[in-house]
Structure 1
Amino acid sequence: MNTEDILDGDIKKCIETLLQERKIVEYTLAANTVLERNYVSTVTNVVVCGKNHSGLVQKLNFFIKTAKKERECREFLSIKDMYSREIYTYKYIIPQFIALQKERKIKNLFKFTKFYSASEKESKEMVILENLSKKGFKTIHKNISVDYNHAMLVMQELGKFHALSFALRDHFPSTFNEIFNNIDDIEFHGNLGQTSKLFLEQFYPLYIEIMYSGNHTIAFEKLNDSKEHLFKSLQTAVKGKTTEPYSVVTHGDFWIANLLFKYDMHSHPKEMRIVDFQTTKMASPVSDISQFLFGCLDQKIRNKHYNELIQEYYKSFSSFLQDLGSDPVQLFPYDVLQDQLKRFSVIGLYLAFKIICFSSIPTEDTPKYENAKNGKDSSKMFYDTVKNSNSFKENIKNVILDYIQLGYDL
């Protein structure tokens, strides 16, 4: 497809407005659609080459996400709500975090992807960001477990990200409270919440069967005892009021698909960016921590480095919060972190269930949400695709056993 076919009128209009704001009067556009597994968006990369009134040549690289248009899919995935949440995050929350770091004169900044523009027009929602691949950032394949070096960098950066919320609450409480009141959970409530519940109901008997057939008696009993209340536990865990006074702005879908990395000359990860803030919510820091530890690490890495990674997170969190002018021991003591890991890591276990499902399916066999009529239909499509997969069952077994061994709540 050529550029004219790829860029519809709304995207073109948004780009034209951006270029006018930058006084770019002569330009050419080149676009390509990214063919990747994306459940709620179509991704398009656009390169703009142009000149301003002075003849200065400028080149802009846009990463454009546009919402799926299928009515049923939009409804059971709450796509409108997801785009509204991401747009609010980029337009209001992230600028507050950037201003906070500037006000505190932070040298080693926590950096965000540059935001250009967005639209909340019904069925034509879009977000335009800087295309970080042009700056050397890359994704990790979703089907590969994260190694030690990546995991350490992720925990360091995540600690800094969460420190921003504690510092904002400490120094600008009214701003923090405004954000608090505007980002209630959408993943386990409303239409998307119903879809999440249906996913759990579809798969949970299989998880119980995997534990039973493997003679993992303790895990089997704990899963069986929790089947009636687990979803309610998830709903409670993601309410900001539940985790006060330790609630932060969490990413909400913190796994490897939403992280970009840049590498040094020895291929070691040196920088990271977080993207896709579509389920951002106020919750415990443990929400993001547990999603990464249970959803992105294999059993070997998790068993060998779990405590070390938690400690690295808190070390980075504490150091950055002190740089921001606040006291980590007073605002979020380490023993509170440990307590919340026990109480709220169920959020990470749930995401691990989903990630293991998605990553067990070859790209060419991935069910398409747009072919589903409702949340129940979509859950069954994924279930039928993985229910006989040995790798799926093995990975589910490992993550459940690790979780139970840690003594965390269900």
Structure 2
Amino acid sequence: MGDISETLNKKNNTKCENSQKLTENKDEELTPNILKTYANLTHQSFLNASDLKVQPISGAGDNSYGLVLQVICNAKSGESSETPFSSILKISPKNPARRAHMNVFDFYTREVFLYEKVFEEFHVLAEERNSINGESAESALFDIVPKMFSYSLENHDEFIIFEDLLKIGYIQNARSKPPTYDLVLKTFQTLAKFHAMSFILQAKKPKVFTELVSQMADNLFTENIADVSVEFGKTYIKRTRDMLVEEAEPKTYDNTADMIAVLDKVEQNFKKVGISCVQGNACAPYAVICHGDFWNNNILYKLDSNQCAESAKFVDFQIARYAAPVLDLIHYTFTCTEKTFRDAHLNELLDIYYKCLAKHICLFALDPTKIYPEQIFKQQLCRYGIFGLCMAAFSIPFFISNSNELVDLDEVCEAISVISAPEDSTSQNANNSVPSSSKDSANKSEENNEKNRALINDYYLLTPRSEPIFKRRMTGVVCDILKYDMADYVLNL
């Protein structure tokens, strides 16, 4: 670990700088290409960033794949009296190590693909249906995502410009704040409509649907997923197990031994479990285009006069995937809600989700009992529920951390790039003609894993403040994995 010690030792000096960078360097983020795009959108000439009002929307821990800014274009003095053009600008990170580790270009390409190809098909289906049924029929408009105004996929200058939902009354539930019942209800109902559109497209235009999903190989859980990412998830699975083992009498749960068994199996098979859950073809035709990164920050709500959610819209489709629809439900439920909430409401909300999905399918004169039988829905919850534990291990440490407790992602990725770099070529065989033995490869793999574990331990996210919260949230997830019969797959590995 000596080669990375200097990089790792930066941690304490830079840990709190993320939110400062958002404001101090915001003008530097508006590249000439971005300024030109805004000029074209508004038919005005922006010579530099001072012509625009820019403020950060995302803070530390809110978005791993770049900056999210609100950009307001005010008409120049004397030129126009039009209402200022307000938008949300998502800009890719520029740090080379972070870009490489997080496959930034692929993520931006995936989101643009969703808007230009998938959502366009959803819009066409809705318009066709409404034109046939007339205005008196219940509307089936696809209106649950913001508009995309423009984008660039130029390497190292990727950005997307969206409609500003904040300006029309939508708000975000805070990253660390568990959602209230009305928010979860509206989330489940809106997600049901989103998933229903995939089933409808598959039924109405099967060739189009097949072509679309063929271009949506998972971009998170793959055979090439970085070892350090796997070790990160395993670290927090192990910490949860250790917390249960260390717990003094009386035990919080009656089935602690069963919970530990689940955690042991997930730790041993973390990569395999994750990859097995995201295979849409394995559960076709009962698979849909999922959001893929479904949590608090990627859902915005408009509230009524009683401050209850009356509508919801989804953002950030960079990890959208073709998979069982329950993956989005499970991801959101186990990473964003508390066990006490699930005990009181989960069965009811799952029933509401399915009924809403079935109703939306019926609007298109299709039979939901054939397209997505309720029995299949329940079977998928049992089979893929374990995905929620994997995502909880990834997510909850971030969700419960304050901004000043989070690490600098650029710094972490630079450290990862150091430990992932190949050995000096002088240490290798001159003509590379002698293959490594299986034993040598295994030793090298374990050596790399040890470095990854050391790196993760150095950037350990939990603090004396957040550890009790982590324990409550994670042990609650494991308990519910057993409660809702979601453990069989992993226990049989």
- TM-score by length of structure 2 reads 0.77
Q: Which structure is larger by alpha-carbon Rg, 1 or 2?
A: 2
Superposed counterparts of 1:239-278, under 5 Å: 239-278=279-318
Q: Does 1:400 align with 2:440?
A: no
Stretch moving more, 368-377 or 389-398: 368-377
**Contact in 2 for aligned 1:367/1:381 (Cα 8 Å):** no
The one-letter amino acid of 1:7's match is L
Question: Match for residue 94 of structure 1?
Answer: 119
Structure 1 or 2: more strand by fraction: 1
1:208 Cα offset (Å) = 1.9
The question of whether the paired residues in 2 share the 8 Å contact of 1:165 and 1:249 is answered with yes
Measured after TM superposition, the shift of residue 5 of structure 1 is 4.9
Paired AA for residue 483 in structure 2: Q
2:301 equivalent to 1:223 = no
Shift of 1:120: 1.1
Residue matched to 1:336: 376
Which residue does the alignment assign to 2:243? 210
1:161 is the counterpart of 2:186: no
What SS does the aligned partner of 2:283 have?
coil
Structure 1 residue 191: Cα displacement: 5.5
Cα distance per residue 1:144-181 (max 9 Å; x no partner): 11111111111111111000000000001111011110
Cα deviation for residue 231 of structure 1 reads 2.0
For residue 3 of structure 1, report the CA deviation from its aligned partner.
8.3
The answer to whether the Cα contact below 8 Å between 1:260 and 1:274 also exists between their aligned partners in 2 is yes
Post-superposition Cα deviations, 1:46-94, rounded to whole Å, max 9, x if no partner, equal 112349xx97725321100101111111111221211111111112111
| Residue of structure 2 equivalent to 1:297 | 337
| SS across alignment from 1:241 | helix
Q: Is contact 1:187–1:193 with CA below 8 Å preserved after alignment?
A: no
Q: Partners of 2:188 and 2:332 in 1: how far apart? A: 9
Residues 352-402 of structure 1, C-alpha deviation per residue, up to 9 Å, x if partnerless? 222321122111221111111228477445535448722212221111111
- Which residue does the alignment assign to 2:96? 71
> Which one scores higher on RCO, CA 8 angstroms, separation ≥ 6?
2
Unaligned 5+ runs, structure 2: 1-23, 131-137, 418-451
AA aligned to 2:65 is V
CA–CA distance in structure 1, aligned partners of residues 376 and 58 of structure 2: 43
Q: In structure 2, how many angstroms separate the alpha carbons of the residues matched to 1:137 and 1:192?
A: 35
1:365 aligns with 2:443: no
Q: Determine whether 1:12 maps to 2:35.
A: yes
Partners of 2:312 and 2:260 lie apart in 1 by 38
- Matched residues, number: 404
1:32 aligns with 2:51: no
Cα distance 1:381–1:44, how it changes in 2: closer, same or farther (>3 A)?
A: farther
**Residue type of the alignment partner of 1:12:** L
Counterpart position of 1:109: 141
Partner of 2:395: 355
The alpha-carbon distance between structure 1 residues 67 and 6, as it changes in their structure 2 partners (threshold 3 A), is closer
Checking the alignment, whether the CA contact within 8 Å between 2:270 and 2:390 is kept in structure 1 is no
Q: Percent identity?
A: 25
- 1:2/1:73 CA distance change after superposition, 3 Å: closer
Quote the offset at 1:9 in angstroms: 1.1
Alpha-carbon distance between aligned partners in 1 of 2:392 and 2:354, rounded to the nearest angstrom: 22
In structure 1, the residue matched to 2:157 is 124
Aligned to 2:70: 45
SS at match of 1:187: coil
